[in-house]
Amino acid sequence: MDKRAVTAVLVVQIICATFFLWNILSSVFGVAAFSWQVSEYIELGAAFGLLIGVGFGAVILRRSSARARLAETRLRAASGAFMELMHERFESWGLTAAEQDVALFAIKGLNTAEIAALRNTSEGTVKAQTNAIYRKAGVTGRPQLLSLFIDDLLDETAFAVPAQAAE
């Protein structure tokens, strides 16, 4: 549904709600602009307009929920594929379990002190492990290590969503 249709439905609902509000206020203050028959017809039209708005709102909500589910499915697929790809890279580089932990923390953006605190080890050990990671990965530092994974993220074929997950 395009924006013009949604805007039109909202305008109709605003007009209908305004009529009902005006009708109630005119009754309270004893001002009658229309005969009761004309007023009844206008009320019927306004009520119908509000019901149409509810129907369109339900359709928009359903479509929005479907898009959100599809986006979530794609994100899960991409996240799972990225983690799988990262572990494949770690294994192909021959990283030890400790080096894999350090590499993961480094990719997440933690600094040496934070990684050392999380792993209950010294900063010197973490520095030695990161140097080993960079050497095994064939990079000179964290930016190049991150760029390897960013390149993989930009590769559209790496995160293809299965046809059944996209439905």
Q: For the chain, report the end-to-end CA distance as a whole number of angstroms.
A: 19
- Fold category of 94-167 in CATH: Arc Repressor Mutant, subunit A (1.10.10)
Which residues are CB-neighbours of 57 under 8 A, at least 6 positions away?
9
Tokens representing 86? Answer: 């990262």
Per-domain boundaries in the chain: 1-69, 94-167
User: Which structure tokens are listed for 70?
Assistant: 């599809």
Burial code (b: 16+ CB inside 10 Å, e: under 16) for 23-42 equals beeeeeeeeeeeeeeebeeb
The pLDDT tens digits for 10-45 are 888 888 888 888 888 887 887 776 777 887 888 888
Q: 156 pLDDT exceeds 70?
A: no
Determine phi and psi for 139, rounding to 5 degrees.
-125, 170
Distance between CA atoms of 132 and 128, rounded to whole angstroms? 6
Lowest pLDDT segment from 21-25, 62-66, 92-96: 21-25
pTM of the model: 0.51
Query: In this structure, how many other beta carbons lie within 10 angstroms of the beta carbon of residue 1?
Result: 10
126 band by pLDDT with thresholds 50, 70 and 90:
very high
- pLDDT tens for residues 105-122? 998 889 999 999 999 999
